[in-house]
A and B are shown apart, each in its own frame.
Chain A
Amino acid sequence: MSAASPGFGTTTAHRRVPPAPRGERVRNVVFEILLALCLVLACLLLGTLLVDVISDGAGSLSWDFLTRPPSALPTLAGLEPAIFGTLWLVITCVAFIVPVGVGTAIYLEEYADRTRWWNRLIEVNIQNLAAVPSIVYGIFGLAFLYRGGLDLGPVILTGGLTLGLLVLPVVIVTAREAIRAVPPSIREGAMALGATRWQTIWRQVLPGSISGVATGTILALSRAIGETAPLLLIGAVVFITENPSGPDSRYTAIPFQIFAWLRFPQEEFKNKAAAAIIVLMVVLIAMNSIAIWLRNRYQRKW
């Protein structure tokens, strides 16, 4: 800043701040461009990825592809059992994460006394669980749900519960935010009219936070749908020609089928995998759009 050039008089009444030296201005512009470049690069990668997948897979995408079972022949191989497998996984997953996740969120927001160490432990524990690698959940599922412990076997229920545990932190965190957004005056009003604590929660707080809870659940499910690693451990089957019929059937799922196809030596199966990726991405984008729509449509302004 030593460029206090003589041109800017110190005698005038209004002192002007000297403009930043040229080098400084150039550095500023370069820095901003570099920062923007970071985001451009991320967008570029995403774009390349989508174009690559679509150009590889679009040719294999057809109604037959969606309604045929897998086959050793790439021309016949289809995705139907995997689609139904994923659907069943989602159903079991929802039945598990909604009561448990929302229950935990209600407990932490409405009942828990934060000065107690065990309540703080629950919170820190959830934070940590959110960052445990998904394959470790697979190991947990293998040890307690598939084998020993519950001994459910390699079925839909095992898969749904394992994926449910994996995405539970997402549900809890978003449900807590939604519950916290309901202003205390609503609770106080209900209590003042003689409602019990649970009546207040069930009739006022939950209806007021339902859109946030639903959004969180959908986001959690969209994460569960894309997970592959835990399924490797808890016994999804590579080659299955029948659609699952209930929580006790063996299954395959879309991401698992993609993985299996990528393992085949034939090049044609890579295109099948790309086509399955397109299906998966369409489902995910649809779910995310629903979540965003729900949030915008039903979010209450208190």
Chain B
Amino acid sequence: MAAGTASATPGGRPPLGAARRRWGEDVIRALLFLAAMLSILTTIGIVVALAVETFGEFFADPIVQGKGADGATSIGGYLNGIADFVFGTDWSPNIRPLSFGVLPLVAGTLLTTVIALIVAVPLGLGAAIYLSEYADPRVRKVLKPILELLAGVPTIVFGYFALTFVTPVILQAIFGQEDVGSFNALSGGLVMGFMVLPTVASVSEDALSAVPGALREGAYGLGASKLKVSTRIVVPAALSGIVAAFVLGISRAIGETMIVLLASGAQPNLTFNPLEAVETMTAFIGQQATGDIPVDSVRYKTIFAVGALLFLMTFVMNAISIRFVRRYREVYE
């Protein structure tokens, strides 16, 4: 292409010759491409590790198939193991009688996630609307770093706060000491909500700020108040981005480990009572993994099976979120 344009230059100058091929440049380009490929390899690695251990080892284990440690495995047993895992309501991978029904962990994750969202969605969206539509630049300059600071607090610190402050000082004072255990879903979920809040706020605010000013001015010109402009014009126009923020928030809450591990406990519990202790999928993995685990043990394999389910759930959420973000970018940019 370079030669084509060069020969077309007016003025009768000789066309530029093709540059000497520089191998160093090609090597550098290849190295940079390899660096970029590492991220793809990471994803592949995660998927392969989870899939191989889950479908090749966990479900193929005679214990998981319900045939005892020395039992013969079979295809029927394999399918049975999968059915028990997905629909089973008893999770007891370490204590006999062993049972591998994952629903109690899923219920724990759902419960803490819903509590977190009840906190993070209204507060995050409210904060985003305030920052994007109401706050004047000076107030913004003070408030945004505070949200960033909140986003930068390590989750172990939130976990400490939930365990040593929210549960004993707030929840046990409200609901009574005998009704609230030192581990409960509510405390982990509430604090997790504040952990997720900055994510919801910042992604929503991006979407709200991407709404063109002309839409707002049009509405003001027709006599709408600020409340009407914010709620009837700007929020609907940014809806896909706001949905993306919520979905990303769900994904963050599902994947959070330390807060729920510290504050919500480690007892698989199929319950929707927020004052009881539960075990989330992440807390199970964290709990199960501490210490040196032999590679062939069922204990080791359960980490991967639960991890696979966790990855699948967050992956679906992330994919939805990425799709929604792209939609509003396409409309307004």
* Contact yes or no, B286 A135, CB < 8 A: yes
Contact partners of B123 in chain A: CB under 8 A = 38, 41-42
Confirm or deny: A83 has a beta carbon within 8 angstroms of a beta carbon on chain B.
Answer: no
Is B45 interfacial (CB 8 A cutoff)? yes
A77 proximal to B (CB < 8 A): no
Residues 130-145 of A, flagged 1 when their CB comes within 8 A of B and 0 if not, give 0111111111101110
* Residue numbers in B under 8 Å from A198 (CB-CB): 24-25, 28-29
- CB-contact partner of A49 in B34, B46, B161, B310, under 8 A: B161
Known: A139-B307, A274-B160. A131 touches B248 (CB 8 A): yes
Decide if B155 touches A229 in the complex (CB within 8 Å): yes
Contact with A along B18-55 (1 / 0, CB 8 A): 00001011001101111111111011011001100100
Q: Which of B249-294 contact A (CB under 8 A)?
A: 251-252, 254-258, 262, 282, 285-286, 289-290, 292
CA distance A25 to B150 in the complex (A): 33
Q: B93-128: contact bitstring with A at CB < 8 Å (1 yes, 0 no)?
A: 000000000000000000000000000001111110
Supposing A24-B225, A121-B40, A133-B254 touch, asked if A128 and B318 sit within 8 A by C-beta, the answer is: yes
B150 cross-chain contacts in A, Cβ below 8 A: 42, 45-46
Complex contact A143–B49 (CB within 8 A): yes
Name the residue of chain B whose CB is nearest to the CB of A259.
Answer: B156
B198-232: CB near A (< 8 Å → 1, else 0) gives: 10000000000000000000000001011100110
Q: Report the bound CA distance from A289 to B219 in whole Å.
A: 41
Main secondary structure of the interface of B (DSSP, over half): helix
Identify which of residues 161-218 in chain B touch chain A, using a CB-to-CB cut-off of 8 Å.
161, 163-165, 194, 197-198
Q: Is A188 an interface residue (CB 8 A)?
A: no
Contacting residues, chain A, for B34 (C-beta < 8 A): 103
Task: Contacts A42-B127, A196-B25 given; indicate if A255 touches B307 (C-beta within 8 A).
Answer: no
Given contacts A136-B307, A196-B25, A262-B163, contact A104 B35 (CB under 8 A): yes
Contact assessment for A46 and B149 in the assembled complex, using a CB-CB cutoff below 8 Å: yes
Asked whether, in the complex, the Cβ of B314 is within 8 Å of the Cβ of A133, the reply is: yes
Mask of A1-36 contacts with B, CB within 8 angstroms, 1/0: 100000000000000010010001101100110111
Q: Is the CB of A132 within 8 A of B154?
A: no
The CA-CA distance from A273 to B127 in the complex, in Å, is: 32
- A56/B164 in contact, CB under 8 A: yes
Contact call B160/A273, Cβ cutoff below 8 A: yes
Contact B254 A127 (CB under 8 A): no
Contact A107 B36 (CB under 8 A): yes
Instruction: Check if A37 is an interface residue, CB within 8 A of chain B.
Output: yes
Most buried by A among B130, B165, B262: B130
Distance between A103 CB and nearest chain B CB, rounded to angstroms = 3
Count of A interface residues, CB-CB < 8 Å: 89
Chain B residues near A48: list those with CB within 8 A. Answer: 161, 165
Q: Nearest B residue to A287 by beta-carbon distance?
A: B152
Least CB distance from A255 to B in Å reads 5
- List of A residues within 8 angstroms of B311 by Cβ: 132-133, 136
Complex Cα distance, B315 from A154, in Å, reads 28
Task: Give the distance in Å from the alpha carbon of A172 to the alpha carbon of B285 in the complex.
Answer: 28
From A209-217, A220-228, A240-248, give the one contacting chain B.
Answer: A220-228
Contact of A43 among B29, B49, B125, B146 (CB under 8 A): B146
**CB nearest to B195 among chain A residues:** A45
Chain A residue numbers with a CB within 8 Å of B157 are 49, 53, 226, 258, 277, 280-281
Report whether A133 and B282 are in contact in the complex, using a CB–CB cutoff of 8 Å: yes
Interface assignment of B63: CB less than 8 Å from any CB of chain A: no
- Measured between C-beta atoms, what is the minimum distance from B260 to chain A in Å? 11
CB A170 to nearest CB in B, in angstroms, measures 12
Which of A125, A226, A258 interacts with B43 by CB under 8 Å? A125
Contact check: which of A37, A121, A136, A232 meets B289 at CB < 8 Å? A232
Is B126 a contact partner of A134 (Cβ separation < 8 A)? no
- Least CB distance, A179 to chain B, in whole angstroms: 12
Q: Does chain B have a CB within 8 A of A155?
A: no
In the complex, residue of chain A having the shortest beta-carbon distance to the beta carbon of B154: A226
Contact A229/B258 with A132-B311, A198-B24 known, Cβ cut-off 8 Å: yes
The answer to whether B147 touches A132 (Cβ under 8 A) is no
Q: How far is the CA of A68 from the CA of B46 in the complex (A)?
A: 38
A294 proximal to B (CB < 8 A): no
**B147: A residues at CB distance < 8 A:** 39, 42
Known: A46-B150, A52-B161; 16 extra A-B contacts, CB below 8 A, are A35-B127, A39-B126, A39-B131, A49-B165, A108-B36, A122-B39, A133-B311, A135-B307, A140-B42, A140-B46, A228-B257, A232-B257, A233-B289, A238-B290, A258-B156, A259-B258
Could you list which residues of chain B lie within 8 angstroms of chain A, going by C-beta atoms? 22, 24-25, 28-29, 31-40, 42-43, 45-46, 49-50, 53, 122-127, 129-131, 134, 143, 146-147, 149-150, 152-161, 163-165, 194, 197-198, 223, 225-227, 230-231, 248, 251-252, 254-258, 262, 282, 285-286, 289-290, 292, 295, 303-304, 307, 310-311, 314-315, 317-319, 321-322
In the assembled complex, 30 residue pairs joining A and B whose CB atoms fall closer than 8 Å, in A order, are: A17-B223, A24-B225, A36-B130, A39-B127, A42-B146, A42-B194, A45-B194, A101-B35, A104-B32, A104-B39, A108-B36, A112-B36, A121-B40, A122-B36, A122-B39, A122-B40, A128-B319, A128-B322, A131-B317, A131-B318, A132-B255, A133-B256, A133-B282, A133-B310, A135-B282, A139-B50, A143-B49, A228-B257, A258-B156, A259-B258
